[in-house]
């Protein structure tokens, strides 16, 4: 089946950014397309299922002349759907562009963002993703070094910022060529690397997107990388690498101990600061647990495990004991099946550290600039120096820390950030700090930027909390109708397995349980004291 206008000649006079040169363009009509997209893969939108959808897949490759790069951008343009029974290329489009972000070391064009795009076309968006010139690489090991000692700065720059400007401009232009008009509104939706991409767009390319959703953003990149390896360095300095089961047991005990501090026993730590102050991991030392890592054998929780957990919760500090960054929240999963920051590898009886893969690549390849350097035995002094070097060399390229969003505000754009409070990788307080610092600089920040903390949500998805599935619709209402989100619904799973509807609140408000409530609306947003975050 053919789709009208879904052929290369439609895109023959595409106006690309002046810094780019088109290498190739393909159009693929996709008809009778079906998808079933879970909410967690859409991050901020509900699950969607459909059959019989048609779209035009326009995939183009371009280079920045002189940089010898090759960037692939893939756009899906809704063409018709079975229910509508239309054949014209115009009617099923909702007149909007929704760009989806990447994760880990990938800018886009892999399964997770493809789910996001399937969700988007199901709602009529034209949708787009970029590989930032990194191809199908899932780690940076494939591209980071041009040769020993030499980082591929253009590829890094593409990932961190330039591909984002390109994807916005190209997306609008591809849509214009196909539909005869530019998108009326353009949105960004991403988490983690994708959240950082969204923040970078707000900071560096204000006005390119009308609305940005940035989940658990990997901003303060150098500090985030330092945080990934901090627990490993604590272990290296002690020369002790506790079993993962010990760390898991302490985290679980913290969740249980702190659960009720917010007035509701539900398996979710709502009062994370009270938990950090009140729960003492050292009280767990000597407790006997059954250890998964040892086939269920009983072990005692060691002092070393308590030290690692305590230091991870308090955040990175220098050799001199100066606190440098925020820690992960008590209760977050520091092991996380290969994703966690405090993981150890205990084969043949003795344990060694298991550096977090993202931080490992960053420090070995971009800072040490060596394909053979191994951070396995990284010292505290080395970590201090590596984070400093990271800021010196890559701060403006990667850190994504500019708090002056005045031009973004002036252009009328809106941003919503969100962060799970049991994120096992990126400290929720980093995003809180960013919001505080933007607010300190720009008095009316909540007129264009709001932040939502999500108790019980892990990194981007999973945990006791569902995803904030109304935020995309709410961002649209904010951008298009001026209706700012005063709260957002969320479903949580309680200890008994039952699902409960709650609300998320724009920072600095917090959701509190109104015990005297008689209607179903027992969770309300209330003002909360949020002292400036100190380090």
Ligand X SMILES: *[C@@H]1O[C@H](CO)[C@@H](O)[C@H](O)[C@H]1NC(C)=O
> How far apart are alpha carbons 333 and 459 in whole angstroms?
10
Q: Does 24 bind ligand X (CB under 6 A)?
A: no
Candidates 10, 45, 92, 189; binder of ligand X (CB under 6 A) is 92
Candidates 2, 24, 28, 49; binder of ligand X (CB under 6 A) is 28
| Sites for ligand X among residues 361-380 (CB under 6 A) | 374, 376-377
> Kind and range of the H or E element at 120?
helix 111-122
Q: Build a one-symbol-per-residue string for 295-334: x at contacts with ligand X by CB under 6 A, - elsewhere.
A: ---------------xx--x--x-----------------
Nearer to ligand X, 9 or 347 (CB): 347
Q: Does 350 bind ligand X (CB under 6 A)?
A: no
Tokens representing residue 132 in the block:
């930032």
Decide if 192 is catalytic: yes
CB of 396 to ligand X, least distance (A): 26
Mapped to the 3 state alphabet, what secondary structure does 222-280 carry? HHHHHHHHHHHHHHHHHCCCCCHHHHHHHHHHHHHHHHHHHCCCCCCCCCHHHHHHHCC
> How far apart are alpha carbons 326 and 399 in whole angstroms?
15
From the list 54, 140, 163, 192, the catalytic residue is 192
> Kind and range of the H or E element at 71?
strand 71-81
Q: Does 513 bind ligand X (CB under 6 A)?
A: no
Tokens representing residue 255 in the block:
């969740």
> How far apart are alpha carbons 452 and 455 in whole angstroms?
10
> How far apart are alpha carbons 468 and 46 in whole angstroms?
9
CB of 151 to ligand X, least distance (A): 18
From the list 152, 332, 459, 465, the catalytic residue is 459
Decide if 9 is catalytic: no
| Sites for ligand X among residues 37-56 (CB under 6 A) | 46, 51-52
Please check whether residue 407 is in contact with residue 440, taking contact to mean a CB–CB distance below 8 angstroms. no
Q: Does 81 bind ligand X (CB under 6 A)?
A: yes
Tokens representing residue 323 in the block:
């606190």
Residue number with the smallest Cβ distance to ligand X: 92
Nearer to ligand X, 173 or 333 (CB): 333
From the list 423, 464, 487, 488, the catalytic residue is 423
Candidates 17, 135, 274, 489; binder of ligand X (CB under 6 A) is 489
Q: Does 207 bind ligand X (CB under 6 A)?
A: no
* Structure letter (DSSP) for residue 450: E
Q: Does 30 bind ligand X (CB under 6 A)?
A: yes
505: Cβ contacts below 8 Å, ≥ 6 apart: 452, 453, 487, 511, 525, 526
Please check whether residue 300 is in contact with residue 306, taking contact to mean a CB–CB distance below 8 angstroms. no
Sole window of 26-34, 225-233, 265-273, 358-366 interacting with ligand X (rule: CB under 6 A)? 26-34
Residue matched to tokens 């995003």: 431
> How far apart are alpha carbons 242 and 302 in whole angstroms?
7
Tokens representing residue 318 in the block:
């220098």
Candidates 2, 8, 22, 32; binder of ligand X (CB under 6 A) is 32
CB of 326 to ligand X, least distance (A): 12
Tokens representing residue 189 in the block:
């939706």
Q: Build a one-symbol-per-residue string for 407-446: x at contacts with ligand X by CB under 6 A, - elsewhere.
A: ------------------------------------xx--
Decide if 417 is catalytic: no
Residue matched to tokens 């530019």: 182
Residues annotated catalytic, as ranges? 192, 423, 459
Residues in contact with ligand X by the rule CB under 6 A: 26, 28, 30, 32, 34, 46, 51-52, 57, 59, 63, 68, 70, 74, 78, 81, 83-85, 92, 124, 282, 310-311, 314, 317, 345, 347, 354, 374, 376-377, 443-444, 461-462, 466, 469-470, 489-491
């Amino acid at each position: 089946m053919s789709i009208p206008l879904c052929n290369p000649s439609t895109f023959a006079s595409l106006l690309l950014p002046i810094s780019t040169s088109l290498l190739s363009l393909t159009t693929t009509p996709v008809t009778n397309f079906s998808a079933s997209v879970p909410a967690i893969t859409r991050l901020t939108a509900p699950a969607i299922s459909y059959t019989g959808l048609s779209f035009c897949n326009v995939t183009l490759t371009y280079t920045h002349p002189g940089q010898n790069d090759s960037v692939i951008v893939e756009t899906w343009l809704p063409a018709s759907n079975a229910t509508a029974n239309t054949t014209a290329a115009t009617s099923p489009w909702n007149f909007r562009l929704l760009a989806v972000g990447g994760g880990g070391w990938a800018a886009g064009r892999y399964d997770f963002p493809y789910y996001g795009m399937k969700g988007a076309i199901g709602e009529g968006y034209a949708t787009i993703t970029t590989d930032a010139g990194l191809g199908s690489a899932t780690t940076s090991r494939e591209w980071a070094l041009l040769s020993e000692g030499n980082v591929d700065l253009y590829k890094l720059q593409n990932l961190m910022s330039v591909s984002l400007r390109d994807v916005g401009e190209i997306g609008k232009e591809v849509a214009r060529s196909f539909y005869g008009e530019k998108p009326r509104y353009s949105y960004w939706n991403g988490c983690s690397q994708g959240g950082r991409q969204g923040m970078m767009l707000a900071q560096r390319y204000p006005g390119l997107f009308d609305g940005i959703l940035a989940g658990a953003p990997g901003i303060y990149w150098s500090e985030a990388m330092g945080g990934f390896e901090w627990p490993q360095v604590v272990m290296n300095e002690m020369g002790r690498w506790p079993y993962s089961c010990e760390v898991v047991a302490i985290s679980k005990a913290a969740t249980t101990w702190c659960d009720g501090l917010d007035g509701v026993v539900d398996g979710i730590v709502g009062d994370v600061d009270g938990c950090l102050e009140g729960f003492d991991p050292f009280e767990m030392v000597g407790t006997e647990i059954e250890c998964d890592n040892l086939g269920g054998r009983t072990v005692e929780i060691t002092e070393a495990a308590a030290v690692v957990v305590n230091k991870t919760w308090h955040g990175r500090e220098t050799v001199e004991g100066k606190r440098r960054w925020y820690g992960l929240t008590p209760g977050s999963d520091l092991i996380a099946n290969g994703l966690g920051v405090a993981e150890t590898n205990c084969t043949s009886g003795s344990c060694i550290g298991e550096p977090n893969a993202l931080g490992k690549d960053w420090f070995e390849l971009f800072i040490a600039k060596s394909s053979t350097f191994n951070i396995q035995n990284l010292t505290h002094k080395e970590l201090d120096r590596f984070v400093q070097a990271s800021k010196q060399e890559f701060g403006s390229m990667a850190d994504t820390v500019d708090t002056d969003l005045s031009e973004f505000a002036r252009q009328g754009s809106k941003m919503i950030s969100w962060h799970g409070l049991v994120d096992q990788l990126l400290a929720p307080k980093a995003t809180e700090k960013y919001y505080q610092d933007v607010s300190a600089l720009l008095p009316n920040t909540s007129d264009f930027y709001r932040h939502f903390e999500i108790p019980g949500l892990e990194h981007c998805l999973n945990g006791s909390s569902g995803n904030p599935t109304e935020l995309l619709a709410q961002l649209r209402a904010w951008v298009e109708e001026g209706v700012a989100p005063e709260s957002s619904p969320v479903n949580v799973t309680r200890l008994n397995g039952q699902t409960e509807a709650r609300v998320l609140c724009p920072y600095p408000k917090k959701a509190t349980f109104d015990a005297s409530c008689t209607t179903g609306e027992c969770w309300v947003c209330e003002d909360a004291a949020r002292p400036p975050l100190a380090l």
